[in-house]
Amino acid sequence: MTEQQLRKQLLDTSRRMVELGLNRGSSGNASVRCGDNILITPSALPVAEMTAQDLVLLAADGKVITGGKPSSEWFFHRDILAARSEINAVLHMHSPFATTMACLRRNVPAVHYMVAMAGGSDIRCTPYSVFGEQELSDHALEALHGRMACLLGNHGMIALGRDLDEALSIAGEVEFLCEIYWRTLQAGEPHILTSQQMHDVQEKFVSYKRRD
């Protein structure tokens, strides 16, 4: 895609995150790989007021190429894209149920087989770190090792994808899984799938993706 096409897609994705209730106002942020650079949403600008030209183009070292001030979370966007060559999109949101579980500092266990969609048998939650700091990025990278999503302690969620569509799909699924986990905890202690059961699901996912 050209830079202009990516700008439109990133803006559209940011708007969808709000429409789906995954973000509100100026919370959250999103980025996409743009050649050797990173296109990212700006700091403190509500999506409703954002235009494609407001999106900030960063060099791989985080220096602004075009645009104003990037999201304060640009550290983890840069670090994730640098560490994960197969990933091209990073979404961060303060969605209600994911943020609830993040405030409880709980990993989301295999309460439902779709947890495997995030790459493992659980969705990890990081310790708390102040937003916009390198420590937060370091914690996120650790929690995302071998995963496509994680929770940020007392903060929110990160979802990754090979493109923006996949990242948004994973974000919606993680929010659903956090809601299911929260609801089962209200009724009692949920039955957690075993390691073998989750291994079988992951094998099924591999076969399923091959047929796509």
* Catalytic residue set: 73
3-state secondary structure string, the chain?
Answer: CCHHHHHHHHHHHHHHHHHCCCCCCCCCEEEEEECCEEEECECCCCHHHCCHHHCEEECCCCCEEECCCECCCHHHHHHHHHHCCCCCEEEEECCHHHHHHHHCCCCECCCCHHHHHHCCCCECECCCCCCCCHHHHHHHHHHCCCCCEEEECCCEEEEEECCHHHHHHHHHHHHHHHHHHHHHHHHCCCCCCCHHHHHHHHHHHHHHHHHC
